[in-house]
Each structure stands twice: as C-alpha cells, then as structure tokens.
Amino acid sequence: MPTIDLQYTPAELMSARAEQQLAETRLTETPLLGLLAGTIMLQTQRGIEWGAKLGDAGTSGREVGGPLGVDTKGKIEAAQLLIPNYYFKHQLRVLKRDLVEAASTAKVSSLRDPVGIEINDALMSITQKMNTALYAGVGTLNDTSFGVLGLNEIAKQTGSYAGISRATEPRWRSIQIDGATPGTPEPISVDRIVDVCLARRNAGATSMPNDGSRLVMLTSAVIESKALRKLYLQNTAPVLADGENRTIVGDILPYTRFAADGIPVISDVVPALDNKIMFIDPMMMTLYSFNDADAAAMNDDKISFFSYNGLQWRMALVNDDHPDSIEFEISTSLQLKCHNPKQGLTVLNDVANVLAA
C-alpha cells in the first residue's frame, strides 16, 4: 500500500469521517437508538448486574415504652444480563487512491465523496439494524437480534427477565393496557392516554407528579401523524411550548415535534410499533457496550474508534491485499437494560391507525 505521510492512519481517517457523519445526522432516522445513546455504559466485563427491588420494607407501630421489634426488609434480588459476544457489523471496500488523496490534502472532510458515501451507507445500515433490535431483539445470536433483549421482550408478562421470574414477582412485569376487545384496534382518545398515566401512578411507577414529564411516547409514524397529532390538535396545543421544553431533556429534542398531554411523542418506522404506543422512562433504560478500546490487542494502527454521545463503534482495517482497494469493518455490540420493567415501560395496545371520525 502507498505510504501515507500523515498524522492519521487509514482507520483513523475513516473513523473521523464516520464520527462527523453521526454528529451531523444525530441518528434522527433511528430515534430509539439516538434517544438511548446518551445512556451508554462502557465496561470491560460482559456481565451486567444490579439489585432489583421487588418488595417494600414494612412499617409497624408500638406504644411509648413498648417492646422493640425489627420490621421486615424490602425485597431485593440480583438481576443479571450479558453483553452479547456478537457484533453488529458492516464491511466495506474503498479505493486506496481515495484515501491517499484525502491524506495529501490533510483534510478529513475530503473523504465525503466518494468514501463518505460508502461510510454513510454503512452507518445507515448498521444503525437501522441496531434500532430494530432495540425493539424486537429476543436475545439470540443472529443477524436479527444480535444478542439484544429489546423492548418487546421486556414487555412480556410471562417467563423471566434478567434471571427474575415475572410469575413470582409482579413488580417485574411491565404495565400492559389492552383495548376493550384485546386484539382489535380502536381509536386513540385523550381518556386512553390519561388511563395510562393513572395506571402507572396506581402501580407506583411514577415517582414525579403525574404530568408525564419523565415519559416518552414511542409509536408508529402512521399513528403519530394520523391519530395522535390530530387528536391533540383538537384538544391541546401540539407544538412544544417554551415551558414544555424545560421539562424535556436535550437528547429528546432531535426526535420529537410535539407533546401529547405533556409527553413527548417520537415516531418510528418499525413493525414492533404497529397498533401500539410504548411509554418509556429513559431514566430506567441503559445501553451497555463492551469497551473493546481497552483490550490490549486493540492498540495498533489498524484499528480506531469513534463515538456518538458515548456510543462507541470500532473501525478496523481488515484487508489491504488488493493493489487498488482496502477493506474496513465497522462494528459494535450492545445490550439494553431496563432497571425496573414496571417503572420503565408501559404498553398501550390495540391502537387504531386513524382517529375516529
């Protein structure tokens, strides 16, 4: 390969362009991934462990001067997940002369075309796969789930999550609200949104005043545009007012255009959101990724790392045997953790795609 007399290695040049692209797009085409990217935890062990609170401490009374007695403790059990040994990856080939040309001008921005096009396509493909897995992943090591346990798995009412049985621990089940006839979509209404907030509050899932200021709605693009938006045009101001902006964290703003009953609405184009609205508390969700940058073998000139809001990808030069081209692989692995399913996720099912006439 021709010598590139530059402070950047080929992998570093590619990483710089990829990071620039992510900063420009802000993952707006993959809103769930973009929303949760800021929660990322990088660690050098695959195990994810936390204490799951499954029962409250008891309180009793006694007379003045009466006998002392120890009250019951709150119930806490260990919850465990794993960062999968499986990568989201995209391998791409670029011409060496394009990298040499970029190096000769000493401008990373010169990689925009044609190499930039290759990187853009690669990032679009890999981030869409990541976004879909965060909804529909079932934990299997394949090119659909990538080892991720997504929101659909967290929302299940049977089986176990993170090693804790939902059957024996009611607090480990997310809140599910069906329509009048389960399985039959019905029009959304203000009352149905209010019912969600009330159900969360009655279940002890809302620790702040019940105004939805810590919730985010995830729904399909068709429900957002043809039902929710029309409903709240009729009932409330749909545009985020200055007062509402103060209650929404900055990471949400690129992905939402209006709020319903004070709750930011984010739409996505994934089958997992067909005929449903997911209410998530981002404070209860965390993405975990293995920090490959800390592995000893990673410190060479064929590998570089880039990130967006802390979410880290690896750029690796994997083949430069061809006289004219060079191959790179973009990769990452991650796992989604919901600290408490009852608090973190509520699903409103059976939502029709259009507003009632």
CA of 80: how far to CAs of 46, 210, 332, in Å? 10, 30, 21
pLDDT of residue 79: 96
Q: Are 119 and 108 in contact (CB under 8 A)?
A: no
Helix (H) or strand (E) holding 245: helix 242-245
pLDDT of residue 105: 56
pLDDT of residue 235: 60
DSSP β-ladder status, 345-349 and 276-280: antiparallel
pLDDT tens string, the chain, 357 residues long: the values are 444 445 678 898 899 889 988 988 889 999 999 999 989 999 989 999 999 988 878 888 999 999 998 888 888 999 999 999 999 999 999 988 887 776 565 455 544 567 778 899 999 999 999 999 999 999 999 999 999 999 999 999 999 999 999 999 998 999 999 999 999 999 999 899 989 988 998 888 765 554 445 789 999 999 999 999 888 876 654 444 444 443 444 567 788 878 887 788 999 999 999 999 999 999 899 999 999 888 756 667 899 999 988 899 999 999 989 999 999 999 999 999 999 999 999 999 999 998 876
pLDDT of residue 261: 79
- Do you find a cis peptide bond into 114, omega within 30 degrees of 0? yes
pLDDT of residue 319: 92
pLDDT of residue 21: 86
pLDDT of residue 247: 42
Q: Please tell me the distance from the alpha carbon of residue 36 to that of residue 218, in angstroms, as a whole number.
A: 13
Q: Is 3 helix (H, G, I), strand (E, B) or coil?
A: coil
Q: Please tell me the distance from the alpha carbon of residue 341 to that of residue 284, in angstroms, as a whole number.
A: 8
